[in-house]
Amino acid sequence: MASLSVKSLSLTYPNGVRALDNVTLEIEDGEFLAVLGPSGCGKSSLLRLVAGLETPTSGSIATDGKDITALEPKDRDVAMVFQGLALYPHMTVRENMGFGLFARKTPAEETDRRVREAAATLGLAEHLHKRPRELSGGERQRVALGRALVRRPRIFLFDEPLSSLDAQLRQELREELARLHRLTRTTSIYVTHDQKEALSLGNRVAVFERGSVRQIGTPDAIYRDPCDLFVARFVGDPAINLVQGEFAADGGALTFRSPGLSFSLPAMRARTGRAILGLRPEAAVLGKGPDSGARGTVERVERLGGDTLIHVQTESGRHIVRAEPRGALPAPGEIVGLTLDPTRALFFEPGGARIRVD
């Protein structure tokens, strides 16, 4: 295991494309950091730089305080697991898992012992004699994980390893990865565009956009306390509800107003001007009383097994509300009220910066 320090890391390609822009990260020994962002945001470039597959334009990379920026990949003691499984089709599971150790001239007995231990951990003990074509997609991904695991590296680098699997297999492998991290406590960086993977696996999550880190924090902090409008929009399923409006002073209290919606915010500093209100689906409750914060028409009732989402069209826009677990559900076309919880309201400048509540 090792701590990892990335300081002021930038990567610009010869064609002028800036993949990373002054990225700084401090990853603790044994931490599982999930790097979340849209395609093209630089998250995979970060892994390639840490692995030594790319050379940074500027900045440094260090493990346990030792600068490794100029080290060859083979000397960095990291192991990567890619989206593409890259298994050798002519080799058995045993040979695929042990190939890296064989290439490093690890003694045969030690290689065999590590392969058997990893196979037992990953549920592959009965498949060691098989070739990749005889395995399911999930089993092939486990072989790829096992090949990295037998290396016993100081750092694991995961580059969207589950994105090619179906939903059920992704869930199973997420649980497998979480279990492996609890067992090995190996420092890990996990790159993904899937927020479920990032929020469920990471001790912390770093949200990337356009080559830079927008926010880094615990999964709960990223979801409940986003630093700006990009993070608020990108994290959350269903997406956050956004309402255009403005602040106004009202008898000593601050009021947020939007068509068909008005509520007081006594805890905030006095201010005026345009703003964007952000409300997670669980921050509003359906009701029919006159004191509801807004009224609207139910457009759709979306049943998702254990969760039900109500789509409501109001004067201020469309809202998605998470229904009470055992409450009565409205019908499409029904007029309902939305009671908003001001303590869970998030506010943003029109340009996207967060407006903080005192």
Provide the whole-model pTM: 0.89
Q: Phi first, then psi: what are they for 232, rounded to 5°?
A: -60, -40
Could you tell me the pLDDT band of residue 201, with boundaries at 50, 70 and 90? very high
Q: Is 345 among the domain residues?
A: yes
Over residues 312-349, the pLDDT tens digits come to 999 988 999 998 777 788 999 999 998 888 888 999 99
Q: Which residue range(s) make up the domain with 84?
A: 4-227
Domain finish residue from 170, 194, 227? 227
- Residue whose structure tokens are 């100081």: 154
Residue 220 has pLDDT above 90, yes or no: yes
Give yes or no: residues 214 and 259 share one domain. no
Q: Is 235 among the domain residues?
A: no
Q: Retrieve residue 58's tokens.
A: 């500027």
Give yes or no: residues 169 and 35 share one domain. yes
Residue 84 has pLDDT above 80, yes or no: no
Over residues 207-216, the pLDDT tens digits come to 999 999 999 9
CATH number for the domain spanning 348: value is 2.40.50.140
Give yes or no: residues 24 and 108 share one domain. yes
Which range in 34-38, 106-110, 302-306 is most confidently predicted, on average pLDDT?
A: 34-38
Q: Phi first, then psi: what are they for 246, rounded to 5°?
A: -150, 155
Give yes or no: residues 194 and 266 share one domain. no
Q: Is 233 among the domain residues?
A: no
Residue 10 has pLDDT above 80, yes or no: yes
CATH number for the domain spanning 90: value is 3.40.50.300
Q: What's the whole-number average pLDDT of the chain? A: 90
Give yes or no: residues 336 and 207 share one domain. no
Average pLDDT over residues 194-212: 96
- Structural domain count, the chain: 2
Q: Retrieve residue 205's tokens.
A: 């999550």
Give yes or no: residues 204 and 251 share one domain. no
Residue 105 has pLDDT above 60, yes or no: yes
Selection from 198, 193, 230 nearest residue 215 by Cα: 230
Give yes or no: residues 326 and 271 share one domain. yes
Q: Is 232 among the domain residues?
A: no
Give yes or no: residues 182 and 276 share one domain. no
Q: Phi first, then psi: what are they for 97, rounded to 5°?
A: -65, -35
Domain finish residue from 227, 257, 284? 227
